[in-house]
């Protein structure tokens, strides 16, 4: 896992990176001016990550990888080991069979490793997948995804399609790994008298951006949420309007099938705990994590943990059934992750040890096993048909 560092100790980007970041800074400055001098943080985050051609996910910089030497910033489960995709194939197969559907949708498909691994494993089990449809805001990643799929499963590459947005209705199994945490969040600060919204202003000094907290109108649901927090003055937290709307839309559009979302986060009670005084906003740059989103805009990832209670409510509001909510460790072990290691000979330490280390990282409580969760929604599917959700469900904690 990444270490926490002060931004000053981060490695400096190259000249091209600085030019890229300067162009994005200028774009964000224009947006601040156009908005009258103050932008809600959610809009800053959206511009930093998704401004066409310049944002972190819509530009061309390297993001996913195992080491800082690759120029990458963080590693996700599908990048860590192909065993992740092989294990996730089990519940995906159960969901395809239970729903009688033959299409997989993947949101935010990264480098395409999960897609390639799922297609290969399901094909090996003779589970029919007629189409694998990728929806990603990042056009720059499409080429990388296509290449990964052609390299790993050339015979199945013709089944993969890319679309910009989901159709109005879809049937099938939808999966998104670490997509919710990449959605813009609003920031809220407990002031002496009331909750304030934290936004971004320009400065006259060498740093282009600074924080400014303002009184802002709150929708009833947000006001109720903020008022429920036992927060002292200075407490900072996030709200997740974009992730909730995204989940609601997915579940509204789901005709028959399953939506599975994997990410790091907690139920509301834990998320808005009085001791979580700084919230969960986090930036990732060259495998270091820190809390300053104004560093190198466009070159670093900005994320927040997921509030799974809000996600569950959004899916239920859209008429979907909550099929399960559990830790990633329990989900992957239920899906046979440990068994995937039997494909390796323990005496062949060169291949066995890295595979065993990756499995350990995925399930260890100290690493990704406990912090990462899986939530699944279904429509017209028997909840007991997905065996990965039968043991260890924690829906009652939401
Ligand atoms: C942290 S990356 C995870 C990538 C990949 N799933 C993995 O695990 O390696 C987040 C991805 O979500 C995508 N994303 C964020 N919001 C999205 C949305 N509304 N629709 C589609 N993709 C989205 C981003 O473009 C990015 O590719």
Q: State the distance from the centre of ligand 1 to the C-alpha of 106, rounded, in angstroms.
A: 9
∠368-112-334 over CA atoms, to 5°?
40
Note whether 153 and 116 are within 8 A (CB): yes
Atom of ligand 1 nearest to the CA of 135: 21
Atom of ligand 1 nearest to the CA of 57: 25
Q: Which of 179, 241, 305 to mutate to test the pocket of ligand 1 (most atoms within 8 A of CB)?
A: 179
Q: State the distance from the centre of ligand 1 to the C-alpha of 182, rounded, in angstroms.
A: 6
Dist CA 172 CA 255 (whole Å): 8
* Helix pair angle (41-50, 241-253), 10° resolution: 60
Dist CA 369 CA 366 (whole Å): 7
Atom of ligand 1 nearest to the CA of 179: 12
For 3-397, give the CATH class. alpha beta
Write the DSSP symbol of residue 233.
T
Beta bridge partners of 3: 288
Q: If 0-12 CB within 10 Å is exposed, 13-18 middle and 19+ buried, where does residue 272 land?
A: buried
* Helix pair angle (140-152, 113-124), 10° resolution: 30
Q: State the distance from the centre of ligand 1 to the C-alpha of 183, rounded, in angstroms.
A: 8
Q: State the distance from the centre of ligand 1 to the C-alpha of 107, rounded, in angstroms.
A: 6
Q: Which of 118, 137, 184 to mutate to test the pocket of ligand 1 (most atoms within 8 A of CB)?
A: 137
The pLDDT of residue 310: 97
Ranges assigned E (strand) in 203-298: 209-214, 236-239, 254-266, 282-285, 288-290
Q: State the distance from the centre of ligand 1 to the C-alpha of 212, rounded, in angstroms.
A: 29
Atom of ligand 1 nearest to the CA of 50: 25
Q: State the distance from the centre of ligand 1 to the C-alpha of 244, rounded, in angstroms.
A: 15
Atom of ligand 1 nearest to the CA of 64: 9
Dist CA 258 CA 170 (whole Å): 10
Q: Which residues contact 188 (CB under 8 A, 6 or more apart)?
A: 195, 196, 197, 198, 226, 236, 237, 238, 239
Ligand 1, atom 14, residue with closest C-alpha? 108
Note whether 250 and 293 are within 8 A (CB): no
The pLDDT of residue 216: 83
With a Cβ cut-off of 6 Å, ligand 1 is lined by: 57, 64, 76, 78-79, 107-110, 135-138, 141, 177-179, 182-183, 246
Note whether 74 and 284 are within 8 A (CB): yes
The pLDDT of residue 62: 55
Backbone angles phi, psi at 189, to 5 degrees: -125, 135
Ligand 1, atom 7, residue with closest C-alpha? 110
Reference 239, options 259, 261, 224; nearest CA is 224
Phi-psi region of 392 (alpha: psi -120 to 50; beta: other; left: phi over 0): left
Reference 263, options 375, 174, 363; nearest CA is 375
Q: Which residues contact 20 (CB under 8 A, 6 or more apart)?
A: 54, 59, 61, 298, 299
Ligand 1, atom 27, residue with closest C-alpha? 108
Ligand 1, atom 1, residue with closest C-alpha? 178
Q: Per residue of the chain (398 residues), give pLDDT as tens.
A: 334 455 567 888 888 888 999 999 999 999 999 999 999 999 999 999 999 989 998 876 657 666 666 667 778 899 899 999 999 999 999 999 999 999 999 999 999 999 999 999 999 999 999 999 999 877 778 888 999 999 999 999 999 999 988 999 999 999 999 999 999 999 999 999 999 999 999 998 889 999 999 998 888 889 999 999 999 999 999 999 999 999 999 999 999 999 999 999 999 999 999 999 999 999 998 888 899 999 999 999 999 999 999 999 999 999 999 999 999 999 999 999 999 898 888 888 888 899 999 999 999 998 898 999 999 999 999 989 999 999 999 999 99
Q: State the distance from the centre of ligand 1 to the C-alpha of 171, rounded, in angstroms.
A: 21
Reading the block at residue 119, the tokens are 């297609």
Note whether 308 and 351 are within 8 A (CB): no
Dist CA 247 CA 103 (whole Å): 19
Q: State the distance from the centre of ligand 1 to the C-alpha of 190, rounded, in angstroms.
A: 31
Q: State the distance from the centre of ligand 1 to the C-alpha of 177, rounded, in angstroms.
A: 8
Ligand 1, atom 3, residue with closest C-alpha? 178
Q: State the distance from the centre of ligand 1 to the C-alpha of 176, rounded, in angstroms.
A: 8
User: Please, what is the end-to-end C-alpha distance for the chain in angstroms?
Assistant: 26
Reading the block at residue 120, the tokens are 């290969």
Note whether 92 and 176 are within 8 A (CB): no
Dist CA 99 CA 305 (whole Å): 30
Atom of ligand 1 nearest to the CA of 77: 8
Reading the block at residue 242, the tokens are 């974009």
């Amino acid at each position: 896992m990444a270490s926490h560092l002060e931004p000053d100790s981060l490695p400096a980007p190259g000249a091209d990176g600085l030019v890229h970041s300067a162009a994005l800074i200028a774009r964000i400055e224009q947006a601040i001016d156009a908005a009258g001098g103050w932008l809600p943080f959610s809009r800053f985050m959206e511009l930093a990550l998704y401004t066409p051609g310049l944002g972190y996910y819509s530009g061309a910089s390297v993001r996913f990888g195992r080491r800082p030497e690759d120029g990458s910033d963080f590693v996700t489960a599908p990048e860590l080991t192909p065993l992740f995709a092989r294990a996730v194939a089990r519940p995906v197969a159960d969901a395809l069979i239970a729903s009688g559907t033959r299409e997989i949708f993947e949101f935010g498909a990264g480098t395409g490793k999960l897609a390639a691994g799922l297609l290969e494993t399901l094909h090996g089990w003779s589970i029919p997948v007629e189409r694998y449809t990728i929806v990603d805001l990042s056009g720059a990643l499409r080429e990388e995804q296509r290449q990964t799929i052609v390299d790993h499963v050339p015979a199945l590459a013709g089944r993969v399609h890319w679309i910009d947005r989901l159709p109005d209705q879809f049937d099938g199994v939808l999966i998104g790994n670490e997509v919710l945490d990449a959605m813009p969040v609003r920031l809220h600060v407990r002031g002496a008298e009331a909750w304030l919204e934290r936004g971004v202003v320009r400065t006259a000094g060498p740093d282009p951006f600074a924080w400014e907290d303002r009184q802002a109108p709150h929708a009833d649901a947000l006001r109720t949420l903020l008022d429920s927090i036992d927060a002292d003055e200075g407490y900072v937290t996030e709200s997740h309007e974009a992730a909730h709307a995204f989940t609601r839309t997915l579940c509204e559009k789901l005709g028959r099938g399953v939506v599975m979302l994997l990410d790091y986060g907690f139920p509301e009670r834990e998320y808005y705990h009085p001791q979580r005084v700084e919230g969960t906003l986090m930036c990732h740059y060259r495998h270091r994590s820190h809390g300053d989103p104004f560093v190198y805009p466009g070159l670093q990832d900005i994320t927040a943990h997921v509030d799974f209670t809000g996600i569950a409510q959004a899916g239920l509001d859209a008429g979907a059934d909550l099929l399960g909510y559990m830790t990633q460790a329990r989900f992957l072990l239920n899906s046979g992750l440990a068994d995937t290691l039997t494909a390796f000979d323990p005496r062949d330490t060169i291949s066995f040890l890295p595979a065993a280390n990756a499995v350990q990282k995925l399930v260890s409580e100290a690493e990704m096993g406990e912090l990462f969760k899986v939530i699944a929604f279904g429509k017209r599917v028997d909840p007991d048909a997905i065996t990965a959700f039968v043991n260890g469900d924690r829906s009652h904690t939401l």
